[in-house]
Amino acid sequence: MNILLINHYAGSPELGMEFRPYYLAKEWLSQGNTVKIVGATYSHLRKKQPLAGEQNIDGVDYYWIKCNRYKGNGIGRVLSMFIFVFKIFLKYKSLIKAGKPDVVIASSTYPLDNIIARYISKKTGAKYIYEVHDLWPLSPVELGGMSTKHPFVKLMQWAENYAYKHCDAVVSMLPCALEHMMEHGLSKEKFYCVPNGIVKADWDRVEKLPKEHSQLIQTLKKDRFLVGFAGAHGIANSLDAVIDAVSALKDENISLILVGTGQEKDNLILYAREKQISNVFFLPPITKYQIPSLLKEMDVLYIGLQRQSLFRFGISPNKIFDYMMAGKPIVQAIDAGNNIVKDAQCGIYVEPDNSNAIADAILKLKKSNKRLLEEYGNNGHEYVLKHHAYDVLSKQFLDIIKSL
């Protein structure tokens, strides 16, 4: 099968996020298919930007469309969207010169690439799939405060409705989004859910922690119960709640280690310093392949998100799947349409932004017997391998394509 996947922000382990197109493509290639990913030369998610034209990364063929650089979510990013879609119209023949696609997947965060995806599918007789990461324009409206009357929002709404009307299938990462999609024209039988996941091979390539990290952890582990967090330090991650929770447990020999970076990190460090919190520690970010070494040193792992109405459609955070692979109990402070920790029976879930509830959950796990903690860890590990490994997810996606 010949697969053409259009994703403005597509990346790779070398380039940086986002990784899902790369991981799916690698699995599809191993199953005997051909894959081409079309992305832009600039993405705010990447740490390294590619050059325009063709590139092969670890066996995956990419075609990079020359687009402008931008900062933030202003006019520059909007311009990049239009340039990307327009240039694919101009270049689509060269994209398919190696062979007509059997399926075209529109996979950018925004829905405009569905226009060109359907155009190519009509020209080539290919199936056309809309892969939904986030709901647009609902995300800029509910998160960004944009008016539903804004011309950009109206255009995105038209594009979303167009996609639901014309696609052969929707593959959503959001498990609870069907009702919203049906309100905008999707037929129920076209809806499928393929969530995010992990690559098992990444856990075979484990790198040692930097000296700064390993020394602190080994010192604390002598007499401390360690709560760990690895990832972005942003407003959405609600880290002040877990900092307050662990601060209240300072007499229980419990410490929190936060590893990563983000726009809120300096503010959080200042917050802990001003409150004279002595059992919370901040460490620099580490590489993707050092994450397993870090997580396995923790006793409990924390994930939290601010209360957000968009989460009613479900969530699929990569962080929680890494936690589950590490085989550690999880404290989840998230209110969403789905509950991964509950489904996997791999820890305790509490309401978001409730430091008292988070503290109670951490203390409960500390006082639990070792067998229960191991059971939580094993449950999560088994669950993520069964439901969220990319060899499994890629086959699910491929089976959807074949069924159309």
Q: Which among 246, 258, 248 has a CA at the least distance from the CA of 217?
A: 258
pLDDT tens sequence across 363-387? 999 999 999 999 999 999 999 999 9
Question: What would the mean pLDDT of 389-404 be, rounded to a whole number?
Answer: 97
Confidence of residue 137 (pLDDT cuts 50, 70, 90): very high
What pLDDT, on a 0 to 100 scale, did the predictor assign at position 169?
98
Q: β-strand 53-57 against 60-65: which pairing, if any?
A: antiparallel
Phi, psi angles (nearest 5°) of residue 253: 55, 45
Domains (ranges, CATH) in the chain? 2-197+389-403 (3.40.50.2000), 201-387 (3.40.50.2000)
pLDDT tens sequence across 200-254? 988 988 899 999 999 999 999 999 999 999 999 998 899 999 999 999 999 999 9
Q: Is residue 98 scored above 90 in pLDDT? A: no
Cis bond before residue 137 (omega within 30° of 0): yes
Please tell me the total number of residues recorded for the chain in this structure. Answer: 404
Q: β-strand 103-106 against 53-57: which pairing, if any?
A: unpaired
CB 224 within 8 A of CB 254: yes
Tokens for 150? Answer: 């804004």
